[in-house]
Structure 1
Amino acid sequence: MSIKLFTNELSAVYDAPLRQMLISNFEIIRDAFDEVLGNQAALKQQQNTIKQVQTTIKSDIKVQDENMQQLVNILSDYDIPIQIIDGKVTRTEEGE
């Protein structure tokens, strides 16, 4: 983003055109600063949304893992040779 400010046109005499250029510079700076602050607020809101989604996903994964373990336990109770190895449900041979 390139912002054009009046910098090389400053004279030693304080006249009306110089005053207008300085006022214009401050208005440009103020507008750019307001835009930066607005973007910062939007980014913070997006970060909060992402954190909430991450928390929800982690919770869902935990519930899914617990459900999978309960399923394996139920199947094991019925003598079905199954277990979880490295996060995957696998069949096992009798006696493992």
Structure 2
Amino acid sequence: MTNTQTRVIKQINKTILATCSFIFLFGFFLSSATSTILIQTNEWSILTAAILISIVELFNYLKHKFQFNDRKSGYNCFFFINLAKLGLLYGLFIDAFKLGS
């Protein structure tokens, strides 16, 4: 590989890492916003939890139904949505620890 090709690959990897980090943190922000705003009234807490679990399980079903072993066009969409889902679940997990302490 030439020096130019190496620099281009490093730049692409930095861009992908920045995008993945942003999407993960966006999912974390969504969890904080969801747990702060929608669950302020006790009537919405069960409905909000049911909707979030349904969305996560629906995405898991679609992800496993359409296995992307090669890098097709739909792979990136599922990859980024999965990162947002992981950020959402991680944020809710952290909020549960905050409430438990």
TM-score scaled by length of structure 2: 0.43
Higher fraction of helix = 2
Higher fraction of strand = 1
Of structures 1 and 2, the one with the larger relative CO (CA 8 A, separation 6+) is: 2
TM-score scaled by length of structure 1: 0.45
Larger Rg: 1
